[in-house]
Amino acid sequence: MFKSIKADLAIVRERDPAARGLVEILLCYPGFQALSLHRISHRLWSLGLPLLPRILSQLTRAFTGVEIHPGAKIGKGVFIDHGMGVVIGETAEIGNRCLLYQGVTLGGTGKEHGKRHPTLAENVVVGAGAKVLGAITVGANTRIGAGSVVVRNVEADSTVVGIPGRVVHQSGVKVNPLAHSALPDAEANVIRNLMERIDQLESQVASLQSCLEENNQEAIAKNIFRGKSQNLKDKEIIEFLGEGPKN
């Protein structure tokens, strides 16, 4: 247990540039405090004590804002950054060197007994507000984007975003766990592709209209809808998609 707490201290100093010393981490990092108290309650839970571990976990929740069931299995070097609103269920398993941000839920999806919470392999990063639900497995070195909802197994070395969570990238390249800006915007990319396709189709319709008019078939041409086309240059679309990729 003490080796695990020592690893937790080391990972905070490694991943948080705001951590200026051992005393500051001990006194001012609720994620570290919650993990340390959980390791005590988990040991009591493993000994078969029925009530004391749950009382300790509830006191930890009130003190830190982090709710961890004493039955959850948590590896070494885990970092819960900020921590407020984090919920970790009874049968959840978290591998070594995982990183969880505020508002993360590792929850269940039913009332059945047995394994009903997720398993995170080593070096998994779960962004702020993300929900990982059910008895699923998230492979090593995977990043889950902020606000995502993951309900299916995820292979190793993946990037998952969206609701429901979709794998948008998979590779064996090790990435910086703090590089949230590197996550792709899958929905914006899809919308951008659709708008480009609409632009192409509108150009084809305009070309057909010109051909009809040149052939003196104005009556047919008038029946073709002539509306204001909407393309990627429109202000509201640019504001929604953000700045597109530069060629």
Number of domains in the chain: 2
Q: Do 194 and 214 fall into the same domain?
A: yes
Q: Is the pLDDT of residue 88 over 90?
A: yes
- Whether 143 and 89 share a structural domain: yes
Q: What is the pLDDT of residue 20?
A: 78
End-to-end, the C-alpha distance of the chain in Å comes to: 53
Alpha-carbon span 195 to 191, nearest angstrom: 6
Q: CB neighbours of 104 closer than 8 A, spacing ≥ 6? A: 85, 86, 87, 126, 127, 128, 129, 130, 131, 132
DSSP class of residue 222 equals H
pTM summary value: 0.68
- CA–CA separation, 160 vs 107, rounded Å? 17
Which of 182, 206, 222 is the endpoint of a domain? 182
Domain for residue 166, yes or no? yes
Section 180-199 average pLDDT: 69
**Residue 110 clears pLDDT 90, i.e. is over it:** no
Choose the final residue of a domain: 145, 167, 182.
Answer: 182
Mean of pLDDT values over 128-134: 91
Check whether 247 has a pLDDT greater than 50. Answer: no
The predicted pLDDT at position 32 comes to 87
191 and 176 housed in the same domain: no
Q: Does the pLDDT value for residue 143 go beyond 70?
A: yes
Domain, as residue range, for 83: 2-182
What CATH number is given to the structural domain containing 173? Answer: 2.160.10.10
